[in-house]
Structure 1
């Protein structure tokens, strides 16, 4: 059984790693929990075992087969040391995603890319993962020429601090107190913020460019036309996306629905007559990507509209990484 290390074990994604390894019965020999100096010495319980959290150092990976990195600056600092020690790193940060020597993998979309890793495999951005799982059956069915995506991203995408800030602001509002913000640039309660991460080239944010460039890399189509607008909304968990797709060949909407219904990792919830469609409230704590509001875009000849929802901590982060580890086994 492989020895597994989790770097960032005490954070939101790290804790989700623990939950998912147990749920999926992932075979684990030794489990090494690593975090910052501040968290070292804490104990965490997993599968009846009490495990002490250790400080992450360059020597933390001796004897480790798979190192799951929860994200953040620890990846650039410690991933090379983990690889030198003989571990395969599955990294949840953005550090290696666009490196041409590092596969960027979503198991339902491009599992074969795992084969050419050189010690590091990157986990895509959460919004990208949710989008490409829904895109894949349509890409296989009819090809994809252009994508326009607008996201409605939950506060948990900013970690535990994001969740706490929304909860604190709602409590303050109910009590008539002043609303304070630290994690987000503006109040997030009862508001939407059309900026996630820093502004970059062309006044697109880093999050928007991630969705463009990562999707092109995952599908191995460098000239796929993609444009994104990413928005933070006052939802605790699960990201939603409005996706407009222009296909290469014209397909009937029933063909699209059938392809999505038969796709791995997708659940279709699409019954307008019964007022049924995906929502964050019902997709939270689930590993599937939910697709609904599937309809023709009548403004162009080969257009399709989708509404897509997925739990960005699970499928958008931890579950996808554990699925990559399963591919390695």
Structure 2
């Protein structure tokens, strides 16, 4: 016996990936529905060897449905997630709306699976920010061994993190560089993204950090350990898919780089590719379509007493969004609903 699953925002990049991953991982589905706004009504989407036609989110009744994977913005989630939850359908939300709500668990299954039990307070589970998700997958096993004190992270985040508009802007600006008269002015981003990097993701806050940087701080504390100090600089780069992060970690106890490498090799969700030679590391292009969080460039930091540097790469549409949501659904099914 399987589950009745709704994918909300199914026509977007993340929604489509959710459908792909549910099919790829053979999630036990008895019935599945693709929901979207009225303007996308009837759009055909692939689910394994089946074709789904989108239905209208505004008029959909969630009664009798087991879980809904939400891939819409916070404004729409604020309207429809409570309706679904009230109807008895467990919401797995990819927006930022509920991440910092103390009554809503924020989950990365490899890191804090036991937090799933807190879903019942609101019938809602939050999916973390894409940049946080891949970082905590790498941090948690090291934290369990040597206790992370402080993290300094610089991110290199792809334009797909901004949705279709970001992808289109990079593509069109890149063509415009080579075709005179077809230059494209910035629209989605505050500056040109083609052949450039922009140290600005989300809005600026009063203390000078951006909201994206603040998210990484707050979410790491909620998911892993509130005692961890985090400082982040988040940068948008001209890459279509795949986020990369350079992470400097200070531990309470000494952790040798070889032991760290061994720990990460054995940790769920992690794939270590770390050869000290040309090309002996993973880049964003190579991680696209993969489930793993790739870790390279593991090395001691001699400038502090107990320090390591690591390079972490992941498909942001997968582990950073859709895959993590499906993993939460799997966790919900195996530990709570137990129908599959």
Q: Which TM-score tier does this pair reach, normalised by the shorter chain?
A: over 0.9
Aligned-residue offset at 1:281: 1.0
What SS does the aligned partner of 2:29 have? coil
Tell me the C-alpha RMSD between the 2 structures.
Answer: 1.1
Q: In structure 1, what is the Cα distance between the partners aligned to 2:160 and 2:313?
A: 14
Q: In structure 1, what is the Cα distance between the partners aligned to 2:158 and 2:322?
A: 16
Verify the 8 A CA contact 1:128 1:215 in the aligned structure 2.
Answer: yes
Is 1:77 the counterpart of 2:47 in the alignment?
A: no
Aligned-residue offset at 1:115: 1.3
Is 1:249 the counterpart of 2:253 in the alignment?
A: yes
Verify the 8 A CA contact 1:59 1:81 in the aligned structure 2.
Answer: no
1:283 to 279, 282, 287: 287
How do residues 112-191 of structure 1 correspond to structure 2 at under 5 angstroms?
112-118=114-120, 119-176=123-180, 177-191=182-196
Distance change >3 Å, CA 45–CA 237, structure 1 → 2: closer
Is 1:267 the counterpart of 2:293 in the alignment?
A: no
How do residues 15-26 of structure 1 correspond to structure 2 at under 5 angstroms?
15-26=16-27
Q: In structure 2, what is the Cα distance between the partners aligned to 1:163 and 1:43?
A: 21
Partner of 1:195: 200
Aligned-residue offset at 1:140: 1.0
Q: In structure 2, what is the Cα distance between the partners aligned to 1:82 and 1:155?
A: 31
Is 1:7 the counterpart of 2:12 in the alignment?
A: no
Q: Deviations over 1:84-110 (max 9, x none)?
A: 111000000000001000000001100
Q: In structure 1, what is the Cα distance between the partners aligned to 2:273 and 2:158?
A: 20
Q: In structure 1, what is the Cα distance between the partners aligned to 2:264 and 2:51?
A: 42
TM-score (norm: length of structure 2)? 0.94
Partner of 1:321: 325
TM-score (norm: length of structure 1)? 0.97
Q: In structure 2, what is the Cα distance between the partners aligned to 1:107 and 1:81?
A: 25
Q: In structure 2, what is the Cα distance between the partners aligned to 1:223 and 1:280?
A: 30
What SS does the aligned partner of 2:172 have? helix
Partner of 1:38: 39
What SS does the aligned partner of 2:3 have? coil
Q: How many residues align?
A: 328
Partner of 2:230: 226
Unaligned stretches of 5+ in structure 2? 334-340
Is 1:108 the counterpart of 2:131 in the alignment?
A: no
Verify the 8 A CA contact 1:58 1:81 in the aligned structure 2.
Answer: no
The worse-fitting range, judged by mean Cα deviation, of 178-187 and 51-60 is: 51-60
Verify the 8 A CA contact 2:38 2:58 in the aligned structure 1.
Answer: no
What SS does the aligned partner of 2:323 have? helix
